[in-house]
């Protein structure tokens, strides 16, 4: 409710600023909405959206499939944790965008580069949070499971993963937010596909209503993803709080 | 003798010698307490018997067979309860059977029976966070009973439970264990608790832990709890133990 109110206030300010014609790059909010309604059903937008979602989805999937197991191994095997810990920590704070031109040179200018960009943006924070979650998993729960004869795989599926779930979900949420950044930055730099192409077209032709409409849509998408994962997090919170 | 500890020693990786040459035998169907000041290695000894931590020397025999890890004839009750916070009371109590692959209807039936026995009927679908400390430990006890182990290992099970609850719990525990004829190994630092519950008390000296004396309290457990607490034998045992332990504190 408070979020909604805050949004309304800002949209009203935006509308006023736009109507006052302070700057040509700030059209009124109502015009942006109109543009959004106009471009959303077009084939061009649908194509861009599909490519973008596909790159995002694939990159995130890779990040989950690699990031979570890597985090688990780093937490459970001390040697590997020490070996890779420093690198993961460097990459989690490194400006990955700087690597995209290199990726373009190596992989080529296309969707694959964008997928890899999403992956690189998302994977490290997922790995790091999973590692923290598993490392801090309740040791007496592990001992308990062992004392009742748990096999190795039972220890992971029935105790460790569930115990680390709050941290893993937090990592996935942060990873997804970074992934949205990754897909947009990747496409902007590659500049010939998806939403990135549309951004190029709109800004080069000074179509500010359309440009802001696209920005708003991307923002809403990122917000929706983050909220969806946050909802999952809240559902596991009751036990995270009681650990 | 259902459990025998012979010449067991334990030195941790950091160089602390927790136990040295511990010899101890546990008679079947009796409750033996490991009693001593903090840092005497009593929990370490219990976990070695449980097979949860490796020993450095000597051997532990359970029913004549050497211990090389946890086994189905031993069940553990943890000081901090060790309940799965995301699982209901029912699932927690049935967890030992779940790990063994017992089908769900069967294991839940057994679990319900023991939940009722520890006095938690009606709480099957609550979560640990919704229970008091005493109730949580009852869940831990029910879980240990559910796997039908002959030997129950208890690591200061009442230390996180408030005083009033503890008394009631101790009385219930005695009833339950006598009823099921379990062999119990019980770690505590409370002299009163040891004298009240035990058939046999092993006093451990601190750093490195060794058995300094074995006391058999002269307490008639068939009498009512209030009678026991005023009984001469009980009071004498408490005094005797205190006399021996005071040199360590």
What is the pLDDT averaged over residues A91-104? 82
The interface pTM score, or ipTM, of the predicted complex is: 0.86
Give domain status of residue A6, yes or no: no
Contact map slice: A 115-154 vs B, CB within 8 A: 138, 140-141, 143-151, 154
The reply to whether A155 touches chain B by the CB within 8 Å rule is: no
CA–chain centroid gap for B83, Å, is 16
Q: Where are the alpha helices (DSSP H) in B118-181?
A: 133-146, 163-180
Secondary-structure breakdown of chain A: helix, strand, coil percentages, each rounded to the nearest 5: 85, 0, 15
B62 and B157, same domain (yes or no)? yes
Cis-peptide, bond into residue B208, ω within 30° of zero: yes
Residues 6 or more apart whose Cβ sits within 8 Å of residue B171: B225
The reply to whether A231 touches chain B by the CB within 8 Å rule is: no
Model pLDDT, residue B61: 87
Contact map slice: B 7-66 vs A, CB within 8 A: 50-52
Give domain status of residue B33, yes or no: yes
What is the pLDDT averaged over residues A43-58? 87
B25 and B42, same domain (yes or no)? yes
Give domain status of residue B64, yes or no: yes
Give domain status of residue B170, yes or no: no
B13 and B62, same domain (yes or no)? yes
Cα separation, B3 vs B150, in Å, equals 11
Give domain status of residue A24, yes or no: no
Query: CB of B203 within 8 A of CB of B245?
Result: yes
Domain that holds residue B132: 80-148
> Up-side HSE of residue B65: CA atoms within 13 Å toward CB?
10
Model pLDDT, residue B91: 92
pLDDT confidence bin for A191, thresholds 50/70/90: low
Mean pLDDT for chain A overall: 85
Model pLDDT, residue A127: 93
Residues of chain B contacting A150 with CB distance shorter than 8 Å: 99
Give domain status of residue A71, yes or no: yes
Cα separation, B179 vs B238, in Å, equals 26
Cα separation, A72 vs B217, in Å, equals 50
Number of domains in chain B: 2
B158 and B65, same domain (yes or no)? yes
B135 and B104, same domain (yes or no)? yes
Residue A237 has pLDDT above 70, yes or no: no
B188 and B235, same domain (yes or no)? yes
What is the pLDDT averaged over residues A229-233? 84
Question: Which residues of chain B fall short of a pLDDT of 70?
Answer: 249
Strand partners, B3: B26, B62
The reply to whether B91 touches chain A by the CB within 8 Å rule is: no
Nearest one of B27, B10, B28 to B204, comparing CA atoms = B10
B21 and B141, same domain (yes or no)? no
User: How large is the angle between the packed helices A161-190 and A208-240, nearest 10 degrees?
Assistant: 170
- Cα dihedral sign, A60-A62-A68-A70: negative
Residue A238 has pLDDT above 60, yes or no: no
Which residue on chain B is closest to A162 by alpha carbon?
A: B86
Give domain status of residue A149, yes or no: yes
Give domain status of residue B40, yes or no: yes
Residues of chain A contacting B84 with CB distance shorter than 8 Å: 141, 159, 162
pTM over 0.80: no
Contact B100 A149 (CB under 8 A): yes
């Amino acid at each position: 409710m408070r979020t909604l109110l805050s949004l309304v206030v800002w949209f009203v300010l935006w509308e006023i600023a736009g109507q006052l014609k302070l700057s040509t790059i700030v059209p009124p909010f109502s015009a942006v909405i109109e543009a959004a309604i106009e471009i959303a059903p077009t084939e061009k937008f649908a194509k861009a959206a599909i490519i973008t979602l596909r790159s995002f989805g694939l990159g995130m999937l890779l990040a989950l499939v690699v990031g979570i197991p890597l985090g688990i191994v780093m937490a459970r095997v001390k040697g590997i944790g020490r070996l890779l810990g420093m690198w993961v920590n460097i990459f989690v704070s490194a400006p990955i965008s700087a690597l995209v031109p290199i990726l373009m040179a190596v992989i080529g200018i296309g969707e694959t580069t964008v997928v890899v960009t999403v992956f690189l943006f998302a994977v490290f924070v997922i790995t790091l949070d999973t590692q923290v979650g598993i490392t801090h998993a309740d040791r007496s729960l592990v001992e308990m499971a062992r004392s009742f004869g748990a096999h190795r795989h039972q220890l992971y599926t029935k105790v460790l993963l569930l115990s680390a779930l709050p941290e893993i979900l937090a990592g996935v949420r942060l990873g997804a937010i970074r992934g949205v950044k990754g897909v947009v930055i990747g496409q902007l730099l590659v500049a010939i596909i998806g939403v990135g192409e549309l951004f190029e077209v709109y800004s080069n032709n000074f179509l500010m209503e359309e440009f802001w409409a696209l920005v708003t849509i991307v923002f809403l998408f990122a917000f929706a993803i983050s909220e969806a994962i946050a909802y999952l997090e809240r559902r596991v919170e009751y036990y995270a709080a009681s650990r | 003798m259902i459990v025998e500890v012979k010449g067991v020693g334990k030195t941790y990786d950091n160089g602390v010698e927790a136990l040295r040459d511990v010899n101890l035998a546990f008679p079947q169907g009796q409750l033996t307490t490991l009693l001593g000041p903090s840092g005497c290695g009593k929990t370490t000894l219990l976990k070695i018997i449980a097979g949860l931590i490796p020993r450095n020397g000597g051997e532990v025999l359970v029913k004549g067979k050497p211990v090389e890890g946890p086994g189905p004839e031993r069940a553990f009750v943890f000081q901090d309860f060790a309940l799965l916070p995301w699982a209901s009371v029912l699932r927690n109590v049935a967890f030992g059977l779940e790990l063994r692959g017992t089908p769900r209807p069967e294991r839940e039936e057994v679990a319900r029976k023991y939940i009722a026995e520890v006095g938690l009927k009606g709480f099957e679908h609550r979560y640990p966070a919704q229970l008091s400390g005493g109730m949580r430990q009852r869940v831990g006890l029910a879980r240990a009973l559910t796997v039908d182990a002959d030997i129950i290992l208890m690591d200061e099970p009442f230390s996180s439970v408030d005083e009033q609850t503890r008394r009631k719990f101790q009385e219930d525990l005695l009833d339950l264990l006598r009823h099921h004829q379990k062999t119990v190994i019980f770690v505590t630092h409370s002299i009163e608790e040891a004298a009240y519950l035990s058939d046999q008390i092993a006093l451990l000296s601190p750093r490195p832990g060794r058995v300094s004396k074995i006391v058999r309290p002269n307490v008639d457990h068939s009498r009512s709890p209030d009678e026991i607490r005023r009984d001469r034998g009980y009071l004498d045992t408490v005094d005797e133990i205190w006399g021996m332990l005071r040199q360590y504190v």
